[in-house]
């Protein structure tokens, strides 16, 4: 519809708190937990439009996900970022439900020397959960770096059956 990443917004409540959904009118362009690191405050000044089809699909996805199911579809997404970040996010989309990958693994897939650069791209993922940045762990398997907070990352990985307790 247009090239602005945040033309419309809505919110929804999840088991982990309120999330903000942003759209350009056609695709989902953002999904953030309330108070998440790197949350673009400009989203709060965006027109509310809770009845967009992409928001309905995203809410269906969220309901399934938080019920402990692996949604069998992905809402139409259009993350905005640099070419490097988009390459990282494409790799994140390939991580299977309930599995993890390390920052170093992603760096090797992209043939770059910096897991830190990968970490920056992962941390600035504008579509949390659907682009599963929570499935990225440190080189020793440690749970590090999730913009929504490590307690949420732990919950999400437990929900997917990766972490058992």
Q: Give the max Cα distance, the chain.
A: 46
What six digits make up the tokens of 125? 């993922």
Token pair 């967009």: residue: 52
Of the candidates 21, 88, 107, 133, the residue annotated as catalytic is 133
Cα–Cα distance, 160 to 5 (Å, whole number): 29
Strand 47-48 relative to strand 8-14, pairing: parallel
What six digits make up the tokens of 53? 């089809």
Q: Catalytic site residue 69?
A: no
- Active-site residue list: 133
């Amino acid at each position: 519809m247009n090239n602005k990443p945040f033309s419309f917004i809505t919110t929804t409540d999840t088991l982990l708190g309120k999330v903000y959904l942003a759209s350009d009118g056609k695709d989902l362009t953002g999904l953030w937990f309330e108070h998440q690191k790197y949350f673009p405050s400009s989203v709060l000044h965006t027109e509310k439009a809770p009845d967009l089809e992409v928001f309905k699909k995203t809410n269906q996805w969220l309901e399934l996900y938080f019920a402990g199911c692996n949604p069998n579809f992905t809402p139409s997404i259009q993350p905005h970022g640099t070419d490097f970040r988009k390459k990282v996010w494409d790799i994140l989309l390939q991580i299977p439900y309930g599995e993890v990958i390390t920052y170093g693994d992603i760096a090797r897939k992209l043939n770059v020397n910096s897991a830190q650069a990968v970490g920056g791209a992962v941390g600035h993922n504008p579509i949390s959960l659907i682009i599963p940045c929570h499935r990225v762990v440190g080189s020793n398997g440690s749970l590090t770096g999730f913009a929504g907070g490590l307690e949420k990352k732990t919950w999400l990985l437990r929900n997917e059956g990766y972490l058992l307790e």
